[in-house]
Structure 1
Amino acid sequence: MSWTWIYQNEDGSPSPALPAEAVVTPFPTQADAEAYIGQSWEELLAGGVEAVTLYEDDREVYGPMSLKPAE
């Protein structure tokens, strides 16, 4: 199994450009993938990524999940 983030705009469409912090290679576990987002969400948001969706292989696990802080 592999875990992959899809980087998106807030409406769920793909982000047109990815910042250098965006990891596109699969993570070995869900915990690794979630730890990465927990550590990198601010840099991703600053780079233009507004939301993410997590996939396990071809199965959508959850998302889109906004990277914007709650108001």
Structure 2
Amino acid sequence: MPWTWRFEKADGTETTTGLQVEEFSTQGDAESWIGEAWRDLKEEGIDQVVLLDDGATVYGPMSLHAE
């Protein structure tokens, strides 16, 4: 089952990124990637992300902005 991220604007509208987006074989790999990429995603105007496991929401939306 591939783990992926969905990228969203603050209102929940799905958006895209210019970064190389990949599928991950584990949740840990996906979370490690977001830990490294979140600043770049935020700079592109992405406000929040949702973690998906084979298309099913695992958690999110998770804001990329400080509270």
TM-score > 0.5 by shorter chain: yes
TM (norm. structure 1) is 0.85
Tell me what 1:11 maps to.
11
1:48 to 2:41 alignment: no
Any runs of at least 4 consecutive aligned residues in structure 1 with deviations exceeding 2 A, and if so which? none
> 2:65 aligns to what SS in structure 1?
coil
Q: How many corresponding residue pairs?
A: 67
Of 60, 63, 66, which aligns to 1:63?
60
Tell me what 1:21 maps to.
19
TM (norm. structure 2) is 0.89
Q: What are the ranges of 5 or more consecutive residues in structure 2 without an aligned counterpart? A: none
CA RMSD after TM alignment: 1.2
> Displacement, 1:10?
1.2
- Residue identity matched to 1:8: E
Aligned partners of 1:27 and 1:33 also within 8 Å: yes
> Displacement, 1:22?
4.9
